[in-house]
Amino acid sequence: MEKQAIKVLTAVDIDRIVEMDWEDRTTFDTIYDQFGISEVDVIKIMRKSMKRSSFLMWRERVSGRKTKHAKTSEAQRFHCSQQDKFKLKR
């Protein structure tokens, strides 16, 4: 099996991935569709981006959670109600 090329993520991308993954309704499949990174890579990003206690709390919460995995092959994007408040006004 060939190793995939590592995708370079910006700080903004990493922040968005952490935000999306912290939301219970956003699936790993949705994150893969948007950023091209696997569940394993998302977990690595979460581990590096969070305090240990926060990471452990998150892992306990999402382990075995059905909502973190899409039920169909078509992943849907979850839109957080607070997401718009961070958009820049033009």
Is position 78 within any domain? no
Is position 83 within any domain? no
Predicted local confidence at residue 24, as pLDDT: 76
The residue behind tokens 């820049």 is 88
Is position 21 within any domain? yes
58 vs 49: CA distance, rounded Å:
12
Q: In terms of residue numbers, what domain contains 45?
A: 8-65
Taking a C-beta distance cutoff of 8 angstroms, is the pair 35, 13 a contact? Answer: yes
Three-class SS state of 11: helix
State pTM to two decimals: 0.64
Chunked in runs of 10, what are the mean pLDDT values of the chain (90 residues)? 59 90 85 90 91 90 70 51 55
Predicted local confidence at residue 88, as pLDDT: 54
